[in-house]
Structure 1
């Protein structure tokens, strides 16, 4: 329990802190209930279980606060998260909830119990597990979309900075930027299509077939290679022979579930890998669209007629904001700090632009 005695009067600092904790517990419980409304089955029960745990924490802080527990309002961040849960209930909300659970201050606060700190650690892992399926569904086409947008931002910004630094006319910079947009988008789409299609074909080639069922009736009982199929799938000699005997019709009792499910489990695993890859046309379309949407941002100032230093500065600002946004989304989905991921993307993009700009200065020419 808390190090404070039950009769001790809390300090103003403790009251403020406890009220913040209470507000967060109320909001998190509401978030989990909102998410549960959009789920069914076991996932719904898990979310409701988390909500009940938050209610226990809420009751603890209400007891500690006494009359000070009245009129507690959640933070703006928690209210926004609850709004997202109510209207979307997506993997983004689970990722935000995971991050909220991971940043719990209970472990370092003597006023919280060790059990509550342990609860928060468990809650983070539960949310991480619930978010895994959503992240897997996004990891194919979403990966292509994010990479495409970032490549478009960085590569076209670097191109525009490099060409612009040579001193050529703004119309030439705009033409170069449009050419870079089209060339890069087409290249990204083609590369992503080939990559995903090739990976799916490799997975398909590895998928177990039903040849053991089709061929078994016509095989020689005393001399056949059926056992080699199951050995190749990873079964032990004993399990493989047992499986062959069952396939050949010597008995119908499948007495060893651990190996009887092995081919089917492998097929399900391959199907899951297919899902995570996404479709080749979808990945290609995402790459093209997002590369183009990213690549158009550096040339927006030139499209609207700006030139010189003003166009360069505005281009850098627009691209910087976009890089912060894409990096933040990736950080959010991965459960990491959105700010750190955004700053990392910003540093990479502006670093590449700085290099090409310096190279452009080396080849500076008279503007025409």
Structure 2
């Protein structure tokens, strides 16, 4: 099978200026991507480090492809794209899930799929790299999922609810001190409500999962069971195992069949074995206290932003306008962070958050105008 590398790289075939310019851009980006993975790997260990170094080696192979095609034109490659420059800077500072999420988006933008000068294996590499980085990023997402979810939702709720409250009261023509007091009351009430609700929610979820988790009772009672009335099978059937698998596992536990399993392990519904480690099982949920504290702090910090102009003595329309601008910037930021971590477009998520927040504020502002006009 002929590949694209045979055509532009043949002796006597001089590449066009457009090809040289494109290949040099590819070369610069491949060099940058390889360095990004090495920088992140320097902060990791074990399997994650090996995987990242493997990605860096793959980028080096792509780099060599473009060097072969460019020949003498490969000297002094240009600066990489702005996106990759940002990634490289972040990787050197953080080396965290945020950088991996950005790298995932960079890998999803695969120019080789439609470029005849790239080989099929290079295009396939880029597709696989996206999945590899997605897998690495998912580990960090799981660790952040519990408290981070509460933090982001708490801040967004604080931003939107207090902006709507301030806009509604401000539109009635109330005194600035009334608007400020209302905003502070909304901050405290909302933060306490969010903290209490998040604690109850996460705690209840963990308790439900704990109640459904297998225990070691079967191991303790197994030696006293009657083989002819093998109720141990019912335990495994209730966990979703097939009848033949349940019978086999029960005989193993009773000692009638050889079993290389550790007594500290318990069977899962699919028949696999593994230690019962609730801390790992509930990693995505997070701790109740952690989620509660995150909700309180981030709701309060979000709810503080709409009342900042009033805290600094501003009044009337300018205070409302500045409040809306500050909250808009914060909504763009929080929406972008959520988009980044979820692997979607940060800009789109930020704009969506902005539209939701401004929509709610517009409704209360109009209501405030109507109430203020009727009272006046």
TM bin (shorter chain): over 0.9
Q: How many pairs were matched up?
A: 365
In the alignment, structure 1 residue 328 sits paired with structure 2 residue 333: no
Specify the alignment match of 2:286 in structure 1: 278
Do the aligned residues in 1 keep the contact of 2:266 with 2:274 (CA within 8 Å)?
no
Distance 1:58 1:83 in 2: 20
Specify the alignment match of 2:89 in structure 1: 83
Q: Deviations over 1:33-79 (max 9, x none)?
A: 12222222222221111111101111111122222222223234323
TM-superposed deviation, 1:234? 1.6
Specify the alignment match of 1:55 in structure 2: 60
C-alpha change, 1:128 and 1:172, in structure 2 (3 Å) is same
Specify the alignment match of 2:98 in structure 1: 92
C-alpha change, 1:164 and 1:155, in structure 2 (3 Å) is same
Do the aligned residues in 2 keep the contact of 1:208 with 1:267 (CA within 8 Å)?
no
Distance 1:190 1:236 in 2: 42
Specify the alignment match of 1:34 in structure 2: 39
Do the aligned residues in 2 keep the contact of 1:207 with 1:267 (CA within 8 Å)?
no
Gaps of 5+ in 1: none
Pick from 252, 258, 268: which aligns with 1:262? 268
Distance 1:54 1:213 in 2: 51
TM-superposed deviation, 1:122? 0.7
Distance 1:131 1:307 in 2: 46
Specify the alignment match of 2:371 in structure 1: 363
In the alignment, structure 1 residue 14 sits paired with structure 2 residue 19: yes
TM-superposed deviation, 1:261? 4.6
Alignment of 1:160-239 (within 5 A): 160-239=166-245
Q: Give the 3-state SS of the residue equivalent to 2:353 in structure 1.
A: helix
Distance 2:118 2:314 in 1: 58
Distance 1:302 1:33 in 2: 48
Bigger mean CA offset, 197-206 vs 17-26: 17-26
Q: Deviations over 1:56-110 (max 9, x none)?
A: 1111111222222222232343233122222321111110110000012111222
Specify the alignment match of 2:108 in structure 1: 102
Q: Deviations over 1:276-334 (max 9, x none)?
A: 10000000000000000000001100100001111111111100100010011011111
C-alpha change, 1:266 and 1:150, in structure 2 (3 Å) is farther
Alignment of 1:138-157 (within 5 A): 138-157=144-163
C-alpha change, 1:172 and 1:366, in structure 2 (3 Å) is farther
Q: Deviations over 1:107-127 (max 9, x none)?
A: 122222222111111100111
Q: Deviations over 1:183-203 (max 9, x none)?
A: 111111111111000000001
TM-superposed deviation, 1:267? 6.3
Bigger mean CA offset, 143-152 vs 209-218: 209-218
TM-superposed deviation, 1:335? 1.1
Do the aligned residues in 2 keep the contact of 1:141 with 1:286 (CA within 8 Å)?
yes
TM-superposed deviation, 1:217? 2.0
Do the aligned residues in 2 keep the contact of 1:168 with 1:365 (CA within 8 Å)?
no
Name the TM-score, length of structure 2 as normaliser: 0.91
Alignment of 1:238-317 (within 5 A): 238-254=244-260, 261-262=267-268, 265=273, 271-317=279-325
In the alignment, structure 1 residue 43 sits paired with structure 2 residue 51: no
Do the aligned residues in 2 keep the contact of 1:254 with 1:260 (CA within 8 Å)?
no
C-alpha change, 1:261 and 1:244, in structure 2 (3 Å) is closer
Specify the alignment match of 1:4 in structure 2: 8
Name the TM-score, length of structure 1 as normaliser: 0.93
Distance 1:238 1:271 in 2: 32
Distance 2:116 2:106 in 1: 20
